[in-house]
């Protein structure tokens, strides 16, 4: 196909990554856990930050650490109570004047879990007994209603920005399932995803990315009593989430991270859902496994594509110890692994099997089948195992 002026423009678009230096970024819930790590990571990238939370003393400490990454950046501490409409509106006005009405990225991270209690109960059991419905309402105000408020206010500050603005939200895997004793938390996170998916339809024409990150358990103070029940070192770490955010922000705005679709119009198509973002532990496991065998297949034992792929690869002469087929569904972190593969292989939600030849991603059933049918797989296997 001959190249046209239009093609040149497209190539430019595909390379048009977001340079984070000097961007104005608002982070809610920046005084602890995930928010703190996001702040420190983005400060290292040279971003100006507005750090929001209720506890000013903690924000001040984090702001100081951020400032030590660069003398060029501006770090603002804004005390804000996300359960209070007036506090959120007042903070948004301050953001507007501090950032000259220009916000590039809003990171909706503040959130609370509320008390774990059956919806059959009328009163909470924790300190300062409350009406259960009042506790639910507080969770909805912080996690959903005022998230919607600050999102709307910050969108006004994004209109001027031609490309590369983003709304990134820390939702939760709770948005994909139901769970006893936490109906309020699940309801709030389902609401968040419904809101994000819908605003995406409105804002894409302005070049604004929308991303919902949906982690499982993250090693932060929010885990509370769970800390004693789980191996926290095997949980997702807050820095894994911060790295996920960098991944989203640095991906060209016209690539949809889920479908890896390219939009050739000057229109973004980035509605990202990073499901169960990977933990460092999962990453390490996968990377070690890939290095152990010359041909590594990650599979699910009952998946028809995997069964077919296994039949194909095992027809070839594979020297002992050079090949392994690992069934990922037998692992506790199966969903995290799947997500990790999607990032590692930049797959378009391509499902298992995943093949790695000599440590490099080879492909899925589709690629294997092509090589099998055109007769090139035999030589490929021989070369891989000989190296
Ligand atoms: N940890 C997990 O396992 C996990 C899993 C999936 C999703 N998430 C989500 O990740 C986000 C961050 O949680 P985290 O794990 O980092 O918890 P965290 O360490 O408890 O941090 C929560 C943050 O939210 C802020 N916050 C709470 N209530 C607020 C209010 N009324 N107004 C303003 N800020 C408020 C807190 O600051 P102040 O107390 O100073 O106000 C703090 O900075 C939440 O949305 C959570 O739902 C967490």
Contact 135, 114 (CB under 8 A): yes
Are 358 and 315 in the same domain? Answer: yes
Say yes or no: CB of residue 128 within 6 Å of ligand 1: no
Quickly state the pLDDT bin for 126 (edges 50, 70, 90). confident
* Ligand 1 pocket mutation pick from 193, 215, 220, 242 by most atoms within 8 angstroms of CB: 220
Instruction: Check residue 7 and give its pLDDT.
Output: 37
Instruction: Check residue 268 and give its pLDDT.
Output: 34
Measured in angstroms, how far is the CA atom of residue 334 from the centroid of ligand 1?
Answer: 26
For the purposes of burial, counting CB atoms within 10 Å of the CB of 369, is it exposed (0-12), middle (13-18) or buried (19 or more)? middle
Distance CA(43)–CA(202), nearest Å, equals 30
Instruction: Check residue 173 and give its pLDDT.
Output: 79
Say yes or no: CB of residue 38 within 6 Å of ligand 1: no
Instruction: Check residue 350 and give its pLDDT.
Output: 64
Q: What is the pLDDT of residues 341-371, one digit of tens each?
A: 766 665 545 678 999 998 888 888 988 999 9
Least confident of 50-59, 228-237, 368-377: 228-237
User: Where in the sequence is the domain holding 350, given as residue range(s)?
Assistant: 282-386
Higher local confidence (pLDDT), 8 or 131: 131
Measured in angstroms, how far is the CA atom of residue 47 from the centroid of ligand 1?
Answer: 22
Instruction: Check residue 346 and give its pLDDT.
Output: 52
Mean of pLDDT values over 269-289: 63
Looking at the 3D structure of the chain, how many domains does it have? 2
Are 207 and 335 in the same domain? Answer: no
Higher local confidence (pLDDT), 118 or 366: 118
Are 358 and 213 in the same domain? Answer: no
Are 160 and 22 in the same domain? Answer: yes
Please give the full DSSP string across 289-304, using - where no structure is assigned.
HHHH-SEEEEE-TT-H
At 327, give phi and psi (nearest 5°): -85, 110
Any idea what the CATH number is for the domain that residue 302 is in? 3.40.30.10
Distance CA(223)–CA(122), nearest Å, equals 24
Percentage of residues of the chain with pLDDT beyond 70: 84
Instruction: Check residue 349 and give its pLDDT.
Output: 52
For the purposes of burial, counting CB atoms within 10 Å of the CB of 130, is it exposed (0-12), middle (13-18) or buried (19 or more)? middle
Residue nearest to atom 23 of ligand 1 (CA): 29
Within 13 Å and on the Cβ side, how many CA atoms surround 17?
10
Say yes or no: CB of residue 53 within 6 Å of ligand 1: yes
Instruction: Check residue 94 and give its pLDDT.
Output: 98
* Ligand 1 pocket mutation pick from 36, 111, 150, 221 by most atoms within 8 angstroms of CB: 111
Are 258 and 306 in the same domain? Answer: no
Of 277, 296, 325, which closes a domain?
A: 277
Are 295 and 268 in the same domain? Answer: no
Which among 99-103, 170-174, 207-211, 284-288 has the top mean pLDDT? 99-103
Distance CA(223)–CA(6), nearest Å, equals 51
Written as six digits, the tokens of 128 are: 């300062």
Written as six digits, the tokens of 158 are: 């994004």
Of 262, 277, 292, which closes a domain?
A: 277
Higher local confidence (pLDDT), 277 or 192: 192
Say yes or no: CB of residue 244 within 6 Å of ligand 1: no
Instruction: Check residue 343 and give its pLDDT.
Output: 60
Are 184 and 293 in the same domain? Answer: no
Say yes or no: CB of residue 275 within 6 Å of ligand 1: no
Quickly state the pLDDT bin for 264 (edges 50, 70, 90). very low
Say yes or no: CB of residue 92 within 6 Å of ligand 1: no
* Ligand 1 pocket mutation pick from 27, 29, 58 by most atoms within 8 angstroms of CB: 29
Percentage of residues of the chain with pLDDT beyond 90: 55
Are 213 and 198 in the same domain? Answer: yes
Closest CA to 345 of 359, 333, 329: 359
Q: Say yes or no to pLDDT of 336 above 80.
A: no
Measured in angstroms, how far is the CA atom of residue 31 from the centroid of ligand 1?
Answer: 9
Q: What is the pLDDT of residues 184-225, one digit of tens each?
A: 999 999 999 899 988 988 887 787 888 888 887 888 999 888
Higher local confidence (pLDDT), 24 or 216: 24
Are 209 and 320 in the same domain? Answer: no
Q: 379 Cβ partners below 8 Å, 6+ apart?
A: none
CA distances (Å), 195 to each of 151, 254, 264, in order? 10, 21, 26
Mean of pLDDT values over 29-54: 97
Say yes or no: CB of residue 139 within 6 Å of ligand 1: no
Q: Say yes or no to pLDDT of 8 above 50.
A: no
Any idea what the CATH number is for the domain that residue 72 is in? 3.40.50.720
Of 250, 277, 304, which closes a domain?
A: 277
Are 141 and 252 in the same domain? Answer: yes
Least confident of 118-122, 124-128, 266-270, 281-285: 266-270
Within 13 Å and on the Cβ side, how many CA atoms surround 62?
29
Q: What is the pLDDT of residues 338-347, one digit of tens each?
A: 777 766 665 5
CA distances (Å), 244 to each of 41, 108, 249, 339, in order? 11, 14, 9, 11
Closest CA to 285 of 344, 212, 226, 205: 344
Instruction: Check residue 16 and give its pLDDT.
Output: 43
Specify the 3-state DSSP secondary structure of 5: helix
Q: What is the pLDDT of residues 171-188, one digit of tens each?
A: 987 887 788 899 999 999
Classify the phi-psi angles of 319: left when phi > 0, otherwise alpha if psi is within -120 to 50, otherwise beta.
beta
Specify the 3-state DSSP secondary structure of 76: strand
Closest CA to 135 of 148, 150, 122: 122
Instruction: Check residue 251 and give its pLDDT.
Output: 75
Point out the ligand 1 atom lying closest to the alpha carbon of residue 113.
47
Are 241 and 376 in the same domain? Answer: no
Measured in angstroms, how far is the CA atom of residue 346 from the centroid of ligand 1?
Answer: 30
Are 244 and 346 in the same domain? Answer: no
């Amino acid at each position: 196909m001959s190249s046209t002026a239009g093609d040149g423009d497209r190539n430019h678009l595909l390379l048009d990554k977001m340079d984070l230096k000097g961007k104005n970024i608002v982070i809610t819930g920046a005084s602890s856990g995930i928010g703190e790590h996001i702040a420190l990571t983005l400060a290292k990238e040279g971003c100006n930050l507005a750090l929001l939370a209720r506890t000013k003393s903690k924000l001040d400490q984090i702001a100081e650490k951020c400032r030590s990454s660069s003398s060029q950046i501006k770090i603002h501490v804004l005390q804000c109570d996300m359960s209070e409409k007036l506090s959120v509106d007042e903070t948004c006005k301050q953001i507007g004047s501090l950032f000259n009405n220009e916000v590039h990225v809003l990171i909706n991270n503040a959130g609370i879990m509320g008390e774990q209690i059956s919806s059959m109960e009328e009163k909470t059991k924790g300190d300062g007994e409350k009406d259960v419905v009042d506790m639910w309402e507080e969770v909805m105000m912080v996690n959903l209603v005022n998230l919607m408020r600050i999102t709307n206010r910050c969108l006004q500050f994004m209109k001027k920005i031609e490309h590369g603005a983003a709304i990134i939200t820390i939702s939760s895997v709770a948005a994909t399932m139901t769970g006893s004793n936490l109906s309020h938390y699940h309801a709030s996170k389902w609401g968040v995803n419904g809101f994000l998916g819908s605003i995406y339809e409105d804002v894409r024409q302005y070049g604004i990315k929308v991303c919902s990150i949906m982690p499982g358990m993250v090693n932060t103070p929010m885990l509370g009593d769970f800390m004693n029940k789980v191996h926290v070192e095997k949980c997702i770490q807050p820095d894994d989430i911060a790295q996920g955010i960098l991944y989203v922000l640095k991906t060209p705005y016209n690539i949809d991270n889920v479908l890896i679709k390219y939009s050739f119009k000057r229109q973004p198509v980035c509605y990202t859902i990073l499901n169960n973002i990977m933990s460092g532990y999962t990453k390490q496991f996968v990377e070690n496994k890939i290095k152990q065998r010359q041909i590594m297949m990650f599979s699910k034992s009952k998946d028809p594509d995997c069964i077919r792929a296994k039949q194909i690869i095992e027809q070839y002469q594979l020297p002992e110890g050079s090949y392994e087929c690992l069934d990922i569904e037998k692992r506790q972190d199966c969903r995290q692994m799947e997500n990790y593969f999607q990032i590692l292989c930049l797959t378009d939600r391509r499902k298992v099997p995943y093949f790695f030849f000599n440590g490099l991603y080879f492909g899925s059933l589709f690629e294997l089948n092509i090589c099998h049918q055109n007769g090139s797989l035999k030589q490929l296997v021989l070369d891989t195992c000989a190296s």
